């Protein structure tokens, strides 16, 4: 009985490991395709991508921060109604706006992704990150 239970635990552990590995592999593929799309649209990439969803509770605060960041060219994946996207595209002319429909994997998420070579880091507190990175000395 104990041997059977240990074998079952081992099997579950291996299955969980395979599922987690598969999930991470898919995420890496999505992030690489995101980076490829950004590279196609802009040669000036700071390695920082802001994913902004209109439905997020942080939308207003993050938009206000982006309004204040004029010197640095930001890459923003913006999920919003078309009229709002076009309005922000005019307002944020110094930044690169990519419609969320181009990258559906990130469309409904609000966060910052930093890329360095083939690695990435996901930051789930975009308002704090942007304020610290770009506005601390202003």
- pLDDT tens across 27-71, in order? 777 777 777 777 777 666 667 889 899 999 999 999 998 888 867
137: pLDDT confidence band, cut at 50, 70 and 90? Answer: low
Whole-model pTM: value is 0.74
Per-residue confidence at 1, pLDDT binned at 50, 70, 90?
low
Written as six digits, the tokens of 102 are: 């181009």
What CATH number has the domain spanning 2-135?
Answer: 3.40.30
Strand pairing class (48-53; 111-116): antiparallel
Domain boundaries, the chain: 2-135
15 has a pLDDT exceeding 80: yes
pLDDT at 82: 94
111 is written with which tokens?
């966060």
28: number of CA atoms within 13 Å, CB side?
9
Convert the pLDDT of each residue in 99-116 to its tens digit.
Answer: 888 887 776 788 898 887
């Amino acid at each position: 009985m104990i041997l059977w239970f240990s074998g079952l635990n081992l099997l579950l552990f291996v299955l969980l490991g395979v599922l987690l590995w598969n999930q991470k592999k898919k995420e890496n593929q999505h992030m690489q395709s995101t980076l490829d799309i950004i590279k196609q649209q802009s040669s000036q990439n700071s390695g920082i991508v802001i994913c902004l969803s209109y439905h997020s509770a942080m939308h207003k605060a993050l938009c206000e921060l982006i309004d204040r960041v004029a010197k640095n060219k930001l890459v923003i994946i913006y999920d919003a109604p078309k009229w709002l996207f076009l309005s922000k595209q005019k307002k944020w002319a110094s930044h690169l706006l990519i419609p969320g429909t181009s990258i559906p994997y990130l469309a409904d998420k609000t966060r910052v992704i930093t890329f360095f070579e083939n690695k990435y880091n996901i930051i789930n507190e975009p308002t704090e990150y942007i304020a610290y990175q770009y506005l601390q000395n202003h």
